[in-house]
Amino acid sequence: MRENGTVTGGGASTAGGHVPVMLERVLDLLGPALTRPGAVAVDANLGLGGHAEALLAAHPSLHLIGIDRDATAIERSAARLAPYGERITLVHAVSDELPEVLRRTGHPRVDAVLFDLGVSSPQLDETERGFAYAHDAPLDMRMDRDQELTAEHVVNTYSAGELTRILREYGEERFASRIAGLIVRERRKAAITSTGRLVDIVRAAIPAATRRTGGNPAKRTFQALRIEVNGELAALERALPAALDALAVGGRIAVLAYHSLEDRLVKQALVARAKETGPPDLPIPIPAHQPSFRLITRGAELPGEEEIARNPRAASARLRAAERIREPVD
């Protein structure tokens, strides 16, 4: 969950007295890459613009490119970041469109990239968006409301096998086949069009003993459907290499992930660039096999207890970062 799950107090002040998840640590990790005049940073998941605002305030010569697939997020961030005038460029796009965004904006190389993944608090809190299992709403879940695919379409048209795969892979749901089977049976009676009805179906499919622990039983199903509708993992798999390729030497990337599937992709992408790729027994290292990045976090860093107490939505955050140390050699 991002901005985004906002937290109150501490750190750089932002609109409404709130600061985004792990803001101070994000500023610490990206700061060394943003000291030169004319530095450029990319916020690849702009949300409400909290991280972006703090970066702009901390680095007076910074130019920030903000990307978000949600047009409402772009509108709200534009208002929030208006005081920074020509120092901002906001683009309605998906993060994996980063190479094209950088080409169009005339910044093929940048100094920092931030990913703050997942669904934002405003998307959760706007009931009509259909992201939250705690409120009855239309079964939508689109981050970009211009796209055609919705959760209602997935639930009512995908086969039992396809639904099982999605729930198992994207939701890590051990009762995936039971839930998928009941969804298919129930939609034969009437189309499943609301989050409330879907929650009831999931609850009925999961054994009673399991329902008594672990929070809302629909959590994993909703996560899986949201990832499928928005193609989140596929976009991340494309966006991470593009972001790493765009970083100048000394440039840094920081990624906030909120579930194990995202964090696993981030770890794999960063570790792959930070290790030597040549045979281990070579007497002299070959430049082409030397790592082009170094990891600057030890594993995934977690929010502190104080932050989690102020903002429970921050509890699942996992932060990783890396720095480009040399250009790749062909």
Q: What is the pLDDT of residue 280?
A: 66
Instruction: Please give the pLDDT value at position 208.
Output: 86
The pLDDT of residue 327:
86
CATH fold of 7-122+232-324 reads Rossmann fold (3.40.50)
**CATH 1.10.150.170 boundaries in the chain:** 139-230
Under a CB-based contact definition with an 8 Å cutoff, are residues 72 and 94 in contact? no
CA distance linking residue 160 with residue 241, whole number of Å: 33
Q: Is 51 annotated as a binding residue?
A: yes
Confidence (pLDDT) at 12: 39
Query: Where in the chain are all domains bearing CATH 3.40.50.150?
Result: 7-122+232-324
Is 116 part of any known ligand binding site? yes
Task: Give the residue, 216 or 323, on which the prediction is more confident.
Answer: 323
Residue 50 marked as a ligand binder: yes
Edge-to-edge strand list for the sheet holding 318-324: 88-92, 63-68, 40-43, 110-116, 247-257, 318-324, 293-295
Q: For residue 241, give both structure tokens.
A: 């290499």
Please report the pLDDT score of residue 135 as a whole number: 82
CATH 1.10.150.170 fits 139-230, yes or no: yes
Q: Is 59 annotated as a binding residue?
A: no
pLDDT, tens digit, for every residue of 246-265? 999 999 999 999 999 999 99
pLDDT tens sequence across 187-206: 999 999 999 999 999 999 99
Q: Which residue has the tokens 């209602």?
A: 152
pLDDT tens digits, 252-304 = 999 999 999 999 999 999 999 998 766 666 666 666 668 999 999 999 999 99
Whether residue 248 contacts residue 160, with contact meaning beta carbons closer than 8 Å, is answered with: no
Angle between helices 232-246 and 260-273 (to 10 degrees): 30
Q: What CA–CA distances, in Å, run from 225 to 86, 96, 111, 253, 275?
A: 38, 20, 34, 28, 35
131-186 pLDDT per residue, tens? 777 788 999 999 988 899 999 999 999 999 999 999 999 999 999 999 999 999 99
pLDDT of residue 9: 28
pTM: 0.88
At 10, the pLDDT band (50, 70, 90 cuts) reads very low
Q: What is the DSSP letter of 86?
A: G
Per-residue pLDDT, averaged over 94-101, amounts to: 96
Q: Any idea which residue has 């509708």 for tokens?
A: 229
pLDDT at 330: 62
User: Was 123 annotated as part of a binding site?
Assistant: yes
Tokens of 2: 């991002």
Question: Which residue has 């968006």 as its token pair?
Answer: 129
Kindly state the percentage of the chain with pLDDT values over 90.
75
**Three-class SS of residue 132?**
coil
Cβ within 8 Å of residue 239, ≥6 positions away: 44, 94, 95, 96, 98, 115
Say how many residues make up the chain: 330
The contacts of residue 255 (CB under 8 Å, 6+ apart) are: 114, 115, 117, 240, 266, 270, 319, 320, 321
